[in-house]
Structure 1
Amino acid sequence: MLNLYKIHRDPRVWPERFLTTHKDVDVRGQNFEFIPFGSGRRMCPGISMAVQVVGLTLASFLYAFNVQMPGDKAVDMEEAIGLTNIKATPLEVLITSRVPEHIYYE
């Protein structure tokens, strides 16, 4: 039987350096980094699950696809005026599968 706990905590494969950057963020309504989840007594009860699922979804996406800029141009980070922070120019990327296409159809 495999020891999955030990495999997933091998520091050579999964270093902990990136897990401590936001460990002190207060999600109980005092820190507005997580304002989409509301605050106070009516705060979203699924905040813990949502934060975990977003990370897992992003990791799964980056594992399955290569994301590249077309050509050698850099990302234009200029913002436009609006209700939310929007980019002045749309972000265009090339997304290609990391897995050969025939794997999906076998």
Structure 2
Amino acid sequence: PKDRAYTIRKIIDPNTKPSDLARPGHMPLLGAHADGLIGRNGHTEAVVELCRLAGLYPGGLLCELVSDSGEMMTAKELKALAKRFNIPLITIGMLAGFARSVLQKGQHRT
């Protein structure tokens, strides 16, 4: 767990050089489309877009929640979990719509 946390911190640090990390590593890396959710409506792009919109470095950690069956949670299961624990839930579509509205207002990504 500590080595994974270290790796995550290094991956999103813009000063990290390839030589700072061992390869092959123990964490799969994903690259987002350069245009974010405008270019591709995917989970990876949603993470990066959310960081950009928050004014943060455009890199983050993505994980999927697993249901009791061992499969990835469905939208229905995620909604139930969010309701149970009073967690706000947004969809990639909602985030993409917001990102488009920000760009249409002339605000630029960081």
1 or 2, which has the higher helix percentage? 2
TM over 0.5: same fold?
Answer: no
TM-score for the superposition, normalised by structure 1: 0.27
Q: Which has the larger radius of gyration?
A: 1
1 or 2, which has the higher strand percentage? 1
Name the structure, 1 or 2, with higher relative contact order (CA <8 Å, separation 6+).
2
